[in-house]
Amino acid sequence: MSRLNQIKQFLGSFQSRIFIAFTLLTLLIAIAFMIIMANNEIQNYRQRSREKARLLATILADSVKLPLFSGDVATLKTLADTLLETPQVAHVVIADHDQRVLVERFSKYIHSPPSDMTTEGMPVHATASTPSVDSALSGGPATQSPPFGSVRVSIDTRDLKLSIRNTLFKTGAVVLVFWLAVLAATYPILKRITRSFDVLTQGLGTMMEGDFSLKIPVESDDEAGRATQAVNRLASALEERETENRNLQAELVNALQLEIQEEKRKFMAKMIQTNRMTSLGLLISSMAHNINTPNGAIKLAGHYIQRSWKDLLPILEGVTKDEGDFQVGGLQFSEAKTEFSSAAESICRNAERVERVIHDLRAYNVGERSAFAPGVSVNQAVEGALTIVRAHGSQAQVKIVHRLDPALPTITGNQNQIEQVVVNLLLNAMQATPGNAEGITITTCHIPLQHEIQIIVMDEGEGLPELVAQNLFKPFTSTRIDKGGSGLGLYISNFIITEHKGRIEFSSNSPQGTIVTVCLPVIPAGDC
């Protein structure tokens, strides 16, 4: 191992972290000690400077009493110049009792800014030769007269930096020697303490490579030794779990293979169903063309019969008045004329219905959206759906009970599409209801507070499996795909109701069966 790798390994070890932390802590303590020493030196130097300036100011104040009192400026200048010859004295000011400066002298040898000087002032008093009567009786000090002048002395403190530098140098040398001595003494102790952790770390590194059979030796009965014992127990448990995981992985692979085969089978079934729907779309296009032609002829013939009957009816009624009632198609004319009119109207109405259904099939096949219109009766859509279901022939063994609200308001929508939704729901309910059940109930009602109409379909069938309930509105979701179901009924129904700004809700019908609620808004949907 190279020297660089050894350094990297040491820096990344627990031992190096403790050593670095202890080193930094010792260094901080040493720096704090140096700062305290320097601060004390600064405070002491400034205190000495203030005391020296105060002492010089006191001496000067005693010297200038008589000259200041007599106004002898020349003597005051001589005294100031004499004081300036004292080392470190940079500036002397003598003022009278009105603080008017009489003498201001600067040193010729010291040129320091005010920030590097310490200034002290002292008032000049006239000391009484004998104590006053009050002080003599009280035994106190003699009363001091008011000052009749003042002196200020400024001394140079530039050598403070040199003093601080010397202090820091001496203190730093002592601290550095102390710090190195502490590190040299603590490193072997620290290495001895962390040796157990080094052994533990090496063992954990081996386990990280996947070898759980290694047992780390326990060197001491301290925290590191107990941690090593716990790691050994954990390694044994992990080795057992690894064996179990290999067995579980083998079982999981087998289960996934089976599941993939099952999903593949379902996917192929959906693909087949998609192909069937594609073929159905082509069949619808062909059927629409083949049915529209004869249906157009039937519709034209029905309108011709209606117009012809309107022309023949007065003539035949006249014949009846002249010659009496006669038979037409096995019925008396008085009865047959009503049936004939109804039959002609039925031919035209059903031809138009066939034309509308073919149009809707083609529109659905090409993705065209049918137009919405106001005034749609939900009850009529339900009745039309019941007629289709009865004609479908699927109602033979299941009874359908309908309870329609006669005061139901109209909505904005497409009656044929709503009728298609009801047909899908009824067929689903009939296919899920056993033959010996009571049957199916379809109800319509108005909920004014929610501004909506509800179509409720209740059955007593087998209910919805949980997996199917979670995917109700997804395409190709059905429990009868293998029996011919497309899995698209609810998907299309939900799409239609969503286009009507409504919703479809499913719930359980205790003790068995399903309740399907279709909610449609009463307020006209302007966006539809």
- Chain segment 240-290, per-residue pLDDT in tens: 777 888 888 888 888 888 888 888 777 776 666 666 666 666 666 666 667
- Type of residue numbered 494: N
Global pTM? 0.39
CATH of domain 373-521: 3.30.565.10
Sign, CA dihedral 404-405-406-411, equals negative
State the Cα–Cα distance between residues 71 and 80, nearest whole angstrom.
Answer: 14
State the Cα–Cα distance between residues 415 and 496, nearest whole angstrom.
Answer: 11
Among residues 373, 33, 60, 318, the alpha carbon closest in space to that of 174 is found at 33
Contact 439, 399 (CB under 8 A): yes
Q: Where are the domains of the chain?
A: 3-124+148-180, 250-339, 373-521
**CB neighbours of 294 closer than 8 A, spacing ≥ 6?**
none
At 503 the pLDDT is 92
Residue 520 has pLDDT above 70, yes or no: yes
Residue 8 has pLDDT above 50, yes or no: yes
At 136 the pLDDT is 46
Q: Which of 68-72, 280-284, 391-395, 454-458 has the lowest mean pLDDT?
A: 391-395
At 139 the pLDDT is 53
Q: Which of 13-17, 226-230, 481-485, 521-525 has the lowest mean pLDDT?
A: 481-485
Query: Which residue shows structure tokens 């044994």?
Result: 236
* Share of residues in the chain with pLDDT > 90 (%): 7
**CB neighbours of 291 closer than 8 A, spacing ≥ 6?**
354, 358
Element (H, E) at 89: strand 89-96
Contact 175, 30 (CB under 8 A): yes
| Alpha-carbon separation of residue 340 from 17, 168, 328, 348 (angstroms) | 107, 128, 10, 13
State the Cα–Cα distance between residues 288 and 284, nearest whole angstrom.
Answer: 6
Buried-state track 426-452, b at ≥16 Cβ within 10 A, e below 16: bbbbbebbeeebebbbbbbeeeeeeeb
Q: What are the residues facing 503 on neighbouring strands?
A: 519
What is the DSSP secondary-structure string of 407-470? TPPPEEE-HHHHHHHHHHHHHHHHHHS-TTS--EEEEEEEEGGGTEEEEEEE--S----HHHHT
- Left (φ > 0), alpha (ψ -120 to 50) or beta: where does 305 sit? alpha
The mean pLDDT of the chain is 76
Contact 45, 88 (CB under 8 A): no
Q: What is the pLDDT of residues 156-207, one digit of tens each?
A: 877 767 777 777 787 778 778 877 887 777 777 766 666 666 666 666 666 6
More confident residue, 363 or 115: 115
At 517 the pLDDT is 93
Q: What is the dihedral of CA 428, 433, 434, 436, to 10 degrees?
A: -140
Q: How many CA atoms lie within 13 A of 512 on its CB side?
A: 10
